[in-house]
A and B are shown apart, each in its own frame.
Chain A
């Protein structure tokens, strides 16, 4: 699992095995059961997760008890609550949708690692920019896009998740009702299904 984490870094930047070894002592590997909650709202976890195998989601629960999914994290995705960086309790839950193996890294991992291996700084900045870009797109989708456009964007970002998570979770992520998602899928099928 640590190797997969290393491979992830090596696919992004030039970092030798020795350099990686010098920063990996604070990493831990952990396996979570399906439906296990890794983080509760109000927790002050001082670490984040890199998914090696499996699938996580972060979500909040509103005052009516409805869940709102912020993010899915399949293989090679990171998921972490940023509140922890500011000594604030978490606003979200993180749960394993499937049995999941993760690399757990302390919240200061990237900054500490960048000190030892300077080229990681550029990667860290790049990853943060990417994350902001992703959030901007997501906010714009939620504010202005039709249900169909949100779904089309979703299947581009997470192609295989339609086979791994129930419809209501996709609807929750898209900020639409499960009925709207069914309608979108039905309309797409009407456009594209050619029974032979």
Chain B
């Protein structure tokens, strides 16, 4: 089996603000021009200490159509509400897989008690593209609590792999996906080792959330860095040099044209105009600010 080599190691780009004080580093598509299709966007909120505040920080009402947002919480808590009447809280360790598909309005804020107390905050949001045939499917949620997450215990007390989506060591991840996607949180103890096998054509990248790891017995990568792999080879090994958390992404590219306008991700310009018009006419529903 051939090793999947590192293409490049990418530092977190300068952060920007989303909404009121959601400070994120965009690794792609703005930060770096790398092909991570079917992952269209990755906003990384590096670990930050938020002061206590009565008025929760967050992002006000906004629409989405044509893709899925996947929010992975490491520290802090985010409350969300949508125009279909759903709401919930994403706590540290949890994952929310929201299929916006045909369209939804939502808002995301620091959860009230967390906002009042303040404390560390660290999260990732991914935009996962949908194939044309599923872009207008029914919106849905998959709220995955850490306690319920499928996981594989690594040998020699090496830690565990939480399988958010896909399949690791014959353990099926919790989230159902529209196209083949592997998404794991590797929570490794110092000295812990894990091996991965992804198809050569799958776009693959790891981001070190915490700690320090060695990849393929060569490069050492510390927290807040993204490891982008080549589309050759299949095998990747990691070893934790200290207690570490790594988010692992790999997916089969969706080979269709993409047109983006703000919060809409469609195949054509006409579909974007239709999305804007539908949004303006209230077809995404209504949600109080």
Contact = CB atoms under 8 A, between A and B. Distances in A.
A163 B285 contact: no
Interface in B262-289: 262-263, 273, 276-277, 279-286, 288-289
A160 B261 contact: yes
A40 to B, nearest CB: 26
Given A167-B289, A196-B138, A191 B280 contact: no
B138 A192 contact: no
B263 A189 contact: no
B83 interface: yes
A167 B286 CA distance: 13
A139 interface: no
A185 interface: yes
B74 to A, nearest CB: 30
Contact of B286 (A160, A162, A186): A186
Interface in A66-83: none
Given A155-B280, A162-B280, A163-B279, A193 B263 contact: no
A26 interface: no
B286 A189 contact: yes
A10 B285 CA distance: 41
A188 B281 CA distance: 6
B276 A163 contact: yes
B84 interface: yes
Interface string A154-193: 0100011011100100000000000000100111111111
A195 interface: yes
A191 B261 contact: no
B28 to A, nearest CB: 21
A163 B275 CA distance: 11
**Size bin of chain B's contact surface:** 20 to 34
A190 B280 contact: no
B289 A193 contact: no
Contacts of A185: 282, 286
Contacts, number: 55
A155 B84 CA distance: 23
Contact of B282 (A167, A192, A196): A192
A159 B285 contact: no
A182 B273 CA distance: 23
A45 B63 CA distance: 39
A190 B284 CA distance: 10
Contacts of B284: 189, 193
Given A159-B273, A163-B263, A167-B289, A193 B282 contact: yes
Contact of A159 (B102, B280, B282): B280
B104 to A, nearest CB: 10
A71 to B, nearest CB: 19
Kindly name the residue among A163, A167, A182, A188 whose own CB sees the greatest number of chain B CB atoms within 10 A: A163
B283 A193 contact: yes
A68 to B, nearest CB: 22
A182 B283 CA distance: 15
A149 to B, nearest CB: 14
Contacts of A188: 281-282
Contacts of B83: 189, 193
Contacts of B288: 182
A84 B279 CA distance: 39
B285 to A, nearest CB: 4
A184 to B, nearest CB: 9
A160 B276 contact: yes
B285 A195 contact: yes
B281 A192 contact: yes
A84 to B, nearest CB: 34
Contacts of A186: 282, 286
B105 to A, nearest CB: 9
Given A159-B280, A193-B285, 8 more contacts: A159-B273, A162-B279, A182-B289, A186-B282, A189-B283, A190-B286, A192-B283, A193-B284
7 contacts: A163-B276, A167-B289, A182-B289, A186-B282, A192-B282, A193-B282, A193-B285
Q: Name the 10 nearest CB pairs between A and B, nearest first.
A: A189-B282, A188-B282, A189-B286, A155-B280, A193-B285, A196-B138, A192-B282, A186-B286, A192-B283, A163-B262
Interface of A: 155, 159-160, 162-164, 167, 182, 185-196
